[in-house]
Amino acid sequence: MKSKPLILITNDDGITAPGIRTLISIMNEIGDVIVIAPDSPQSGMGHAITLDSTIYCDAVTIDEGEQLEYRCSGTPADCVKMAISEVLNKRPDLCVSGINHGANSSINVLYSGTMSAAIEAGIEGIPAIGFSLLDYSWHANFDKLKEHIKKIALEVLENGMPDGVVLNVNFPKIEENDFKGIKICRQARANWVEEFDKRTNPQGKEYYWLTGKFVNLDHGEDTDVWALENDYISVVPVHLDLTAHHFITELNSWNL
């Protein structure tokens, strides 16, 4: 009999977030689960790694599942490095990150600690998936996602992934009925228009909070934003080669 797959789980909302607890319960049905996740929220950490500071990583028990768990003081990308280089004695068959409380579609893939953890696993050659729900609430309802997450994870385990490619899966927030289905998409070309909220601290010094508005000027119907706005689950294959291959020929004609 084939042995159970080894599944590494992390996230960026912290190890106690309901999203990762749901993901652990789903993956316990599929394989042997090890969790190495941040000990505090790390949203917006992008692909940060800890170079100038120390990292703690301690075994912990949070609930009754069969998983082994470690909480780590580092970033999501640090957690994956720590798992592979220090904690695990064999390579995981799959890395899943999330379920993120909030969207990681479009340009958010660059800011997202959840997706950077998945990409870090991809750098290490491990098939990986980031899962996100378009609901920032700590008390979001993840029930409708479960069967889809299980199916997507099983498909990745079955088919494998090309070198350096991982999946970015986002679920729309739907109140009634079920999702309309799954769409394979490209990342929408959108951005945030920032609105810094300027305030004065009790000592009279000015400071800012970063806020902003998501603006999508990409009207393609093949994008993740379109799929999510139309109640589909979006799946974007994401790769770690940032080369703009289409611009190399023109750049060679420049006078450099």
Chain positions 174 to 213 lying near its own copies, rule: CB under 8 A, are 182, 184, 186-187, 189, 191, 193-196, 198, 201, 205-210, 212
Token representation of residue 99: 């379920």
Q: Binder to its own copies among 119, 128, 133, 227 (CB under 8 A)? A: 119
- As measured in angstroms, the least distance from the Cβ of 98 to its own copies is 17
In three-state secondary structure terms, 198 is strand
Residues in 233-252 at the binding interface with its own copies, rule: CB under 8 A: 235-248, 251-252
Q: Binder to its own copies among 19, 31, 38, 74 (CB under 8 A)? A: 74
Q: Binder to its own copies among 29, 63, 147, 163 (CB under 8 A)? A: 163
- CA–CA separation, 171 vs 104, rounded Å? 10
Q: Binder to its own copies among 13, 24, 47, 171 (CB under 8 A)? A: 47
Residue 224: what are its φ and ψ, rounded to 5°?
-65, -35
Q: Binder to its own copies among 109, 153, 225, 227 (CB under 8 A)? A: 109
Place of tokens 């889809």: 148
CA-wise closest residue to 180 among 214, 218, 148, 142: 148
Contacts of 202 (CB under 8 A, 6+ apart): none
Q: Binder to its own copies among 116, 132, 170, 234 (CB under 8 A)? A: 116
- As measured in angstroms, the least distance from the Cβ of 233 to its own copies is 9
Structural contact between residues 45 and 18, judged by C-beta atoms closer than 8 angstroms: no
Count of residues near its own copies by CB under 8 A:
77
- CA–CA separation, 149 vs 155, rounded Å? 10
Residue number with CB closer to its own copies (63 or 155): 155
Residue number with CB closer to its own copies (29 or 160): 160
Residue number with CB closer to its own copies (65 or 110): 110
In three-state secondary structure terms, 212 is strand
Contacts of 92 (CB under 8 A, 6+ apart): 5, 6, 7, 8, 34, 83, 84, 121, 126
Residue number with CB closer to its own copies (143 or 209): 209
Q: Binder to its own copies among 2, 3, 52, 61 (CB under 8 A)? A: 52
Token representation of residue 129: 């998936």
Residue number with CB closer to its own copies (1 or 213): 213
Contacts of 244 (CB under 8 A, 6+ apart): none
Considering the rule CB under 8 A, would residue 59 count as an interface residue with its own copies? no
